[in-house]
Amino acid sequence: MTDIVMSPPVRRAGWIPGIATVAAVALYGWAILSAEEDWQVLGLLALAVIATVIGMVSGFGRSVQASWAAHESKLNGAALIGIVAVIAALSTQHFPLLMLSTMLLYFTASLGMNIQFGYTGMVNFAGAAFFGAGAYTAAVMGNVAWFPPLLTLVLGGVVSMALSLVLVFPIVRTTGHYAAVVTIAFGVLFKTFLEVNEILGGPQGLMVSSMRLLGWDFMDSPQIGGMKLSFYVNYALLCTALAALVFIAVRRLERSWLGLHMDAVRLDETAAACFGISVKKTKILAFLSGNMILGIAGALYGMMISFIAPSSFTFSDSLLMVSMVLLGGMGSPWGGALAAAIVILLPEKLQFLQEYRFLLFSVLVILVLLFRPDGLLPRQIRNYFPGARSRQ
């Protein structure tokens, strides 16, 4: 230990590139969410592509990264403020707020998928089923007047987790493709079950009661200074809170011994086992916690769109969730956010593409896998305590 030279004091990156990015993204988000004409949307998309290229070529991308690494919690806070600011700016418009909320819920779902796929390497092709399990839980519990809707969200997660128990044994015992096939089968079974089950509304589906919190019904429009806001403001704010909470939890999970175990299991099960890591326990934790997150997000989604049917939770939706992880970057939370935005926004904003949406995503995923195999915003090396590295 005597021959170690202490590293020279490294100048910490400033926070300005980070803050500038947050502000730019928020402004951009507001612009694209409120854009209505195709040419506006296409123009904004072109702008995004140009800005990305310039950012990469000029090295600004790297300074943003450094800035984020040095001031992570502050910049995460700024991002949260940014989202709330966008909600405020859109506060009277139903449709953009609905889209933003959906994006936030898909972002939340991508965080759950990331635990399974990105960290632990377990592909889950039944994401939509577990999301749907949460939504159906919300529909059923909406009829139980005394049950607090906030707890319904938790219950949605619990039901989804309970359903995954059915799959745990086949999934933990089999590996690779077999486990993937098991989840495909489950997703298809789940949808078929909903379609034939009369109590759950059959193919027509069910109504879902709205969220109520402290006596406040989320269907009511908030009034501020005589201005009537869209009731979706309620949902957008709650979705933001949920996404933020799950984000913090998943971040901490990644930056813990449990997260390290997940990586070890993904990269080399045999070596992991030789160092006492329980491969089974790690996989079960990843599968259950990921599905719980999907269930919670699904429950809130059901309440928000107020009507659900089996056709909202198909295999293609599951594929979309997997592709979010691939697009954003395996194990990259912010990548999931970007991917969720792309996956939700593009088909909604470019209606003429609606019919080709799956073609579009396939092409996009293939392009990303070819040219940016680590995803649009690749995962960074694990830093357990960012901004406060162990004394060096």
73: contact with other proteins by CB under 8 A: no
Count of residues of this chain found to bind other proteins when the rule CB under 8 A is applied: 36
Going by C-beta distance under 8 Å and a sequence separation of 6 or more, which residues neighbour residue 25? 82
- For 75-132, the DSSP string reads HHHHHHHHHHHHHHHTTT-HHHHHHHHHHHHHHHHHHHHIIIIIIT----TTHHHHHH
173: contact with other proteins by CB under 8 A: no
Shortest distance, CB of residue 369 to other proteins, whole angstroms? 17
Query: Please, which residue, 162 or 219, has the CB nearer to other proteins?
Result: 162
Query: Please, which residue, 3 or 198, has the CB nearer to other proteins?
Result: 3
Q: Which range touches other proteins (CB under 8 A), out of 35-43, 135-143, 191-199, 380-388?
A: 380-388
335 contacts 376 by C-beta, under 8 angstroms: yes
Q: Which of 114, 173, 142, 126 is nearest to 306 (CA)?
A: 142
26 contacts 86 by C-beta, under 8 angstroms: yes
Whole-number Å distance between alpha carbons of 220 and 374: 43
Round to the nearest angstrom and report the end-to-end CA distance of the chain.
14
Query: Please, which residue, 84 or 277, has the CB nearer to other proteins?
Result: 277
185: contact with other proteins by CB under 8 A: no
Q: Which of 39, 352, 371, 385 binds other proteins (CB under 8 A)?
A: 385
**Secondary structure of residue 217 in the 3-state scheme:** strand
Shortest distance, CB of residue 316 to other proteins, whole angstroms? 30
384: contact with other proteins by CB under 8 A: yes
Q: Which range touches other proteins (CB under 8 A), out of 3-11, 60-68, 72-80, 348-356?
A: 3-11
Please list the residues that pair with 206 across neighbouring strands. Answer: 308
Query: Please, which residue, 45 or 285, has the CB nearer to other proteins?
Result: 285
Positions 7 through 66 that interact with other proteins (CB under 8 A): 7
Give the relative orientation of helices 149-173 and 279-305 as an angle to the nearest 10 degrees: 140
1: contact with other proteins by CB under 8 A: yes
338: its two tokens: 């970007």
Hunting for tokens 């495909």 — which residue is that?
A: 184
∠332-370-112 over CA atoms, to 5°?
Answer: 25
Query: Please, which residue, 1 or 199, has the CB nearer to other proteins?
Result: 1
Positions 285 through 304 that interact with other proteins (CB under 8 A): 285
Positions 239 through 278 that interact with other proteins (CB under 8 A): 249, 252-253, 256-258, 260-261, 263-264, 267-268, 270-278
196: contact with other proteins by CB under 8 A: no
Half-sphere exposure (Cβ direction) of 357: Cα atoms closer than 13 Å: 18
Whole-number Å distance between alpha carbons of 254 and 171: 22
Positions 348 through 377 that interact with other proteins (CB under 8 A): none
Shortest distance, CB of residue 165 to other proteins, whole angstroms? 17
Query: Please, which residue, 94 or 372, has the CB nearer to other proteins?
Result: 372
Query: Please, which residue, 9 or 225, has the CB nearer to other proteins?
Result: 9
H or E element: which one contains 58?
helix 38-58
Positions touching other proteins (CB under 8 A) are 1, 3-7, 249, 252-253, 256-258, 260-261, 263-264, 267-268, 270-278, 285, 381-385, 389-390, 392
